[in-house]
């Protein structure tokens, strides 16, 4: 049995089949939404939940919404809706209720007891998708860590279930012993995974430092999940990349070089897609994506121009960047917004929304990664924006200050030039570093170098 399968089996051991959703399970979608929302807002929330469920392999058979300002503190939905949920599931032969928000351990347990259904919340579905699709050792470890940290507080809530004969445990005493054993096992596993991820972080840090030392600009391709990032990545770099019409088709950051007009060869990173209400336990699983966005010379934010929710996705990406990736207290890399899938814009409503997106989103380029339309303009825009981020200087350094050569090499790309009287070099560095270089004693900036 592989490492990933073993990790998922251990997850199931802790909570039984409650821990995951399974292919071909029938499910009713349910959520609590505040009154006064527009119809399309409700539709967007449930459509996305349905897409998540289908991506996890679940067969969605019905939907249910309750209008109230706040979820019920005990059962998430009120008593009447819980009964309606159970009845709806019976009518459609569903075994699972997938909830559109994250439930507390008590809410999950109480609602399951009230309905007789397996209750799975939105976070669990996303975690399960990540577990199914992780393709590298780092991704597998990150997802298993997120699952364990999510499920650990639920162990105590389900302690009673671990003591019943159906759970294979027996009486309460042995069940409590099993509960504590599971908790200790999970905590040891969490610490082990964190140590392994730290080692993998060191390896990736060395690779990134090497690229940075070469002066190669980095482009991070980001965006809402299923916006066409991997298709665009493949078009720009020629690399093989998984392309599926599903949420979170890409979970592992890939890095490849691309060619730009003028001969520039930056590297591009295809990153994990963003989504609303991302489970906070999964933020560490975005470790590589976070580093790519923080250290990028340019961000390409890919948006699905054919989606009726393109502007909401644009806002969500900005929110995730501000709250979880970059913050508001540091300079952001420049962002070029890519309105993708324009080949799928066909109806007057779609065209009207695209026109609105064009007017509100800047700077932006409209493309179809599928057909290649607009890619020439995109490459030129990338080249122009990258060029504005870097300065090309010729500097002179006294022979007795050779340590400054190493310092400059850490800032960007450095090429030594022939000179018998002093050290002379051509350097390419981020434009923001130029005042810093000019202020260092011993470095004389001779001229810009094109």
How do the pLDDT tens digits run along the chain, 450 residues long?
455 455 455 555 555 566 667 777 899 999 998 887 666 667 777 888 888 888 888 899 999 988 888 999 999 999 999 999 999 999 999 999 999 988 888 898 899 899 999 998 888 888 888 777 776 787 788 888 888 888 877 765 554 444 443 333 333 344 455 667 777 877 888 899 889 888 887 776 676 666 555 567 889 898 988 899 889 998 998 876 544 544 444 545 678 888 888 777 888 888 777 877 777 666 766 666 667 777 788 999 999 999 988 998 999 888 888 877 776 666 788 899 999 999 999 999 999 999 999 999 999 999 999 999 999 999 999 999 988 877 888 998 888 888 888 888 878 778 888 877 778 888 888 777 888 888 888 888 886 654
Provide the CA 85 distance to its chain's centre, in angstroms.
Answer: 32
Peptide linkage before 363 cis (omega within 30 of 0)? yes
- Apex CA 319: angle with CA 124 and CA 327, to 5°? 110
Same fold, 3-167 and 216-387: yes
Per CATH, the number for 3-167 is: 3.40.50.11060
Per CATH, the number for 216-387 is: 3.40.50.300
Angle between the 172-213 and 287-295 helix axes, to the nearest 10 degrees? Answer: 30
**DSSP assigned state of 408:** H
Burial 229-242 (b: 16+ CB within 10 A, else e): bbbbbbbbbebebe
**Number of alpha helices (DSSP H) and beta strands (DSSP E) in the chain:** 14, 14
Strand partners, 67: 33
Residues 6+ away with beta carbon under 8 Å from 134: 4, 140, 142, 143, 251, 252
pTM value is: 0.71
CA distance 26 to 48: 17
Q: Where are the domains of the chain?
A: 3-167, 216-387, 390-448
């Amino acid at each position: 049995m592989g490492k990933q399968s073993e990790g998922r089996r251990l997850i199931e051991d802790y909570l039984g089949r409650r821990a995951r959703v399974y292919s071909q399970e029938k499910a009713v979608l349910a959520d609590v939404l505040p009154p006064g929302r527009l119809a399309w807002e409700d539709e967007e929330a449930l459509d996305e939940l349905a897409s998540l469920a289908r991506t996890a392999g679940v067969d969605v058979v019905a939907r249910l919404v309750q209008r109230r300002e706040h979820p019920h503190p005990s059962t998430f939905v009120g008593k009447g809706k819980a009964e309606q949920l159970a009845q709806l599931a019976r009518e459609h032969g569903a075994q699972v209720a997938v909830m559109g928000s994250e439930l507390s351990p008590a809410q999950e347990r109480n609602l399951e007891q009230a309905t007789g259904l397996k209750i799975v919340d939105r976070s669990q579905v996303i975690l399960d998708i990540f577990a199914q699709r992780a393709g590298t050792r780092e991704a597998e470890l990150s997802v298993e860590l997120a699952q364990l940290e999510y499920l650990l507080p639920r162990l105590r809530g389900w302690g009673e279930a671990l003591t019943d004969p159906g759970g294979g445990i027996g009486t309460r005493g042995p069940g409590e012993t099993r509960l504590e054993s599971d908790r200790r096992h999970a905590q040891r596993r969490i610490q082990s995974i964190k140590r392994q991820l730290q080692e993998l972080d060191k390896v990736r840090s060395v690779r990134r430092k090497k690229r940075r030392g070469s002066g190669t600009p980095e482009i991070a391709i980001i965006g809402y999940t299923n916006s066409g990032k991997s298709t665009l990545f493949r078009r720009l770099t020629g690399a093989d990349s998984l392309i599926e019409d599903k949420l979170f088709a890409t979970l592992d950051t890939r890095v490849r070089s691309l060619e730009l007009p003028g001969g520039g060869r930056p590297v591009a990173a295809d990153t994990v897609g963003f989504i609303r209400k991302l489970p906070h336990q999964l933020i560490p699983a975005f470790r590589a994506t976070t580093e790519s966005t923080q250290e990028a010379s340019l961000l390409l934010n890919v948006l699905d121009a054919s989606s009726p929710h393109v502007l909401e996705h644009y806002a969500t990406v900005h929110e995730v960047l501000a709250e979880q990736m970059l913050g508001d207290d540091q300079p952001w890399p420049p962002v070029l917004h890519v309105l993708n899938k324009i080949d799928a814009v066909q109806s007057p409503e779609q065209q009207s929304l695209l026109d609105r997106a064009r007017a509100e989103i800047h700077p932006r380029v409209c493309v179809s990664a599928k057909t290649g339309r607009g890619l020439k303009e995109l490459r030129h825009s990338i080249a122009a924006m990258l060029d504005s981020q870097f300065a090309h200087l010729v500097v002179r350094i006294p022979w007795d200050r050779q340590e400054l050569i190493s310092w400059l090499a850490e800032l960007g790309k450095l090429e030594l030039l022939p000179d018998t009287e002093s050290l002379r070099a051509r350097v390419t560095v981020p434009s923001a570093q130029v005042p810093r270089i000019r202020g260092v004693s011993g470095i004389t900036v001779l001229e810009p170098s094109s």
